[in-house]
Every structure is written in structure tokens, then in C-alpha cells.
Structure 1
Amino acid sequence: MAISIDNFSSPPSSKSHATQIFLRILAIGTTLSAACLMFTNKQATVVYGIPVDARYTYSPAFKFFAFANIVAFALSLLSLILVFLMGRKAASSTHYFCLFLHDLIITTLLMAALAASWAIAYVGKFGNSHTGWIQICDHFGKFCNRGIASTLLGFLGVIIYLILTIVSANQSRQIRA
């Protein structure tokens, strides 16, 4: 005799539900802050008598990072609303599994964006003598510092979403028999 898992539901524990809400609020804050810092990241200076400016839009990796954080922010806001709704009624493990997939996809998106941003930030900070790329952070300190702050906030967002993925996976497998 086969028992369908979808017929059973268990209400989330209040501690787990509060953890979900708290972490999603943190994720909203970090992803929005990282995106805002990157979107407003620009600096103009004079290098060897030539006026030069640096903007996040000059790098596809920085643009990807900024837009990935905006997408993560919007989906975090949506998932926060869904978690509130799921807490009011008994949600099935299928709902939590969908939330797990959502968190896993956002974690992967943020990791990809962070890796791209970090690679370009590294080249900007240290250059690459083998390819002839010079370091720019000694000329664009404000630009580099804001980029590093944005990237660190992005790293914090990845960690938060990794924890959310684990919590969601745990909730999706907890069913009452």
C-alpha cells in the first residue's frame, strides 16, 4: 500500500518560521544594498593629465552583479510574502520544496554574479602583468572601495541564501506520517 506524501502536512515550527522571516529580511537588505552601491559606483579623476572616469557600466561583470542583486532583491521580497502566507496556514512539504528550489536558484545566481564581480575587482586591484592589464585602484580609490563594499555585501547575501537553502530543504523533508 503506497502512501502519498502530498496528503500530509505539518505546520512549520515557530522557530523555523521566524528564522525564515529573519533571514529573508536580511537577504532583502544585503541584496538591495549591494545593488545600490554598485549602481551608484563611479569616479572621475585625472591620470597623467588626462581626465578619466570609472563606472560600473564599463564592466559587464559589474552590470551582471548589480542586476543579479536586483533580481535577488525582488524575488526575496516575493518569497518573504509567501513565507508569511505559508505561516498562516498549514503548508505542505511541496510548498516548502518549491521554496527550496527558489532559494537554490537565487543562491546560484548570486554566486555566479559574485564570482564575476570578484574576478574583475581582483584585476582592478592587482592588475595582470602577463596580459598587460594595469591596476586601477591606486587611481580610483573611491570606485574600488565602493566596489569592494558592494562585493562584500554580495558575499553576505550568498551566505544568507545558502543558509536559507538549507533551512528550506530541511522544512521540505519534514512531514507528519
Structure 2
Amino acid sequence: MKAGVIELGSGSTPKTNASRGVSILDFILRIAAVIATLGSAIAMGTTNESLPFFTQFIRFRAKYDDLPMFTFFVVANAIVSVYLLLSLALSIFHIIRSKAQVSRIVLIFLDTGMLALLTAAASAAAAIVYLAHKGNTQANWFAICQQFNSFCERISGSLIGSFGGILLFVLLILLSAVTLSRR
């Protein structure tokens, strides 16, 4: 007859601790993604520059809402930011209950939808930012970034934040998929 060993302590196994660690990483990545997408929406939404033309009373203006793609970019980043803030509650739930599977599956589907929305918005805005920097002489679209420096710097920075959010979403989806596959 073998003597049984009774383990005293918290009762958590290494697998549970690893799942809890992954859940904490998920929470941190979601906070970083909120910062990236919300920062992108704010930076693009507050972009505005005016330049004088001949006199002080006639001015050229560049504002984000002059182009529908930038408006779509701001709205999409705002929607994704709100989603990420709401998903923090499920992320906290996963820290507490690391064996939850159905809510992780729901998060994977919702994260994938938000990734698609964010990618579409960032890609549309990136095409316009490229035209603002380089122009297109065949279509008679002139590069405006030589004149509107501040405007172009802000919209380019906003794109960097949004593409950072896309990268964080990819990591979140992969992290959730790996967590589910380990069970």
C-alpha cells in the first residue's frame, strides 16, 4: 500500500497558474490596444491646419473630416476602443476563472470582427496619407504635405497607433487560440 501525499496550499495547479498568467497578459494587451486605438482616434479627430493664401482673410484649410476615409477611420477607431473597454470585463473574468471557454470563444469571434474593422479603416486612411505625401500626377492630385506639415505629421502618427492596435489584436487572437487549444 502506497502512502498518499496531501499537498497543502492554494490548490492551484501549474496549468491553472499558466492560464491565469495568459489571462493577465490578455488584459495588459487589451489596455495597450485601447490606448493605441483611442489615441489614434483622438489624434486624427483633432487634426486641423489652416494656411494663408494671398491675404490673411483667404485661407486654405485641411481638416480630417474633409475626407470620408478619415471620418471612417475616426469612427472605426472609436468603436474598437469602446469594444476594447467593454471586453476588459471579460478579460478580468478570465483572470478569476481561468477555465472559462465559451467566453474565450466569443472573444475570439468579436476580436476578429474588430480586427477586420480596424484593418479596413487603417488601410483606407493609409491610402489617403500616401496620396497626401506623394500625390499622383497622372490624376492631378498634388502632394499637400509640403504645405500642411503639421496636418501630415498628425495623420501619419495616427496611422502608426492604429497599425499598432492591429498588431495587438493579432496577438490577442493568437493568445486566445493557444489558450483554448491547450485544454
Structures share fold, TM-score greater than 0.5: yes
2:162 and 2:136 mapped to 1: Cα distance?
24
Cα distance, 1:91 vs structure 2 = 4.2
Cα distance, 1:76 vs structure 2 = 0.3
1:156 and 1:31 mapped to 2: Cα distance?
8
Cα distance, 1:90 vs structure 2 = 4.8
Q: Which residue of 1 aligns with 2:96?
A: 88
Aligned length in residues: 166
Give per-residue Cα distances to partners, 1:12-69, cap 9 Å, x unaligned: 7122011101100100100110000011001000246541100000111111111111
TM-score (norm 1): 0.88
Q: Does residue 130 of the first structure (1) align with residue 134 of the second (2)? A: no
Q: Which residue of 1 aligns with 2:118?
A: 110
1:157 to 152, 162, 165: 165
Gaps in structure 2 of 5+ consecutive residues? 1-14
Structure with greater contact order relative to length (CA < 8 Å, sep ≥ 6): 1
91 and 13 in structure 1: CA distance in 2 versus 1, 3 angstrom threshold = closer
- Secondary structure at 1:13's aligned position in 2? helix
Give per-residue Cα distances to partners, 1:130-149, cap 9 Å, x unaligned: 10001111111000000001
CA contact (8 A) 1:35 1:65 kept: yes
- After superposition, residues 6-155 of structure 1 pair within 5 angstroms as 13-47=19-53, 50-155=58-163
Cα distance, 1:92 vs structure 2 = 3.1
1:139 and 1:15 mapped to 2: Cα distance?
49
Counterpart AA for 2:35:
G
CA contact (8 A) 1:95 1:172 kept: no
Counterpart AA for 2:44:
M
What is the percentage of aligned positions where both structures have the same residue? 30
Counterpart AA for 2:100:
S
TM-score (norm 2): 0.85
RMSD, aligned CA: 1.6
CA contact (8 A) 1:43 1:142 kept: yes
CA contact (8 A) 2:53 2:59 kept: yes
Q: Which residue of 2 aligns with 1:6?
A: none
1:21 and 1:90 mapped to 2: Cα distance?
13
